[in-house]
Amino acid sequence: MAAEIELAERWERINKVVEEFLRGNTNPNDIATITGFKRSQVTEYLNEWRTVIQSDRQIQMRAREALAGADQHYSMLIKEAWDVVEQADLTAQLPQKTSALKLIADIQQKQMDMLQKAGVLDNNELAEQIIETEEKQQMLVEIIRDVVSSCEKCKPQVSSRLSKITGQAEAL
């Protein structure tokens, strides 16, 4: 009886760690901070979870559902961020638009990281996703350049921030 309770408690801890992992918190240090577990425990729980899901059909189905839910959540956040971009356009709020565009790029990257770490994306799919993300990032940079080009006050700040994202000096 005591062994069963201990096993149930262990799986509760594993589920807590996996829940954070599937939300996109893929760094064991971050998961440890959120859950209150030690980093070594987080790594151990994730490894155990991966081993079990590879061999258990029901758990694989549940994991796929959880992963699909997290993926849908990211997609919803991206859609909402695009709504913010549209509203910022209508009200000529350049700082909000810039922030929303950066948020979109960040969310897309986290979504891809989650899918890759969960093993959903194979090498071909990953390469395609990376190319697509890079293309979207370039489009976002172009949108930001176009929007900010007429605002002398915004140019230096946006140029500096874009340089951090693209890794190259950005001229507006």
Where are the chain's structural domains? 1-55
DSSP 116-128: HHTT-S-HHHHHH
Whole-number pLDDT of residue 127? 65
In angstroms, rounded to a whole number, what is the distance separating the alpha carbons of residues 158 and 147? 10
Strand, coil or helix: 38: coil
- Number of neighbours of residue 161 by Cβ within 10 angstroms: 15
In angstroms, rounded to a whole number, what is the distance separating the alpha carbons of residues 170 and 144? 11
| DSSP 8-class letter at 172 | -
Nearest of 82, 130, 122, 117 to residue 103 by alpha carbon: 82
Whole-number pLDDT of residue 123? 55
In angstroms, rounded to a whole number, what is the distance separating the alpha carbons of residues 31 and 16? 9
- Number of neighbours of residue 136 by Cβ within 10 angstroms: 14
Tens of pLDDT, residue by residue, the chain (172 residues): 777 788 888 888 988 998 888 888 888 999 999 999 999 999 998 888 888 777 767 766 777 777 788 888 888 888 888 888 888 888 888 888 888 888 888 888 888 888 777 776 555 565 677 778 878 877 887 887 787 777 788 777 777 777 776 666 666 5
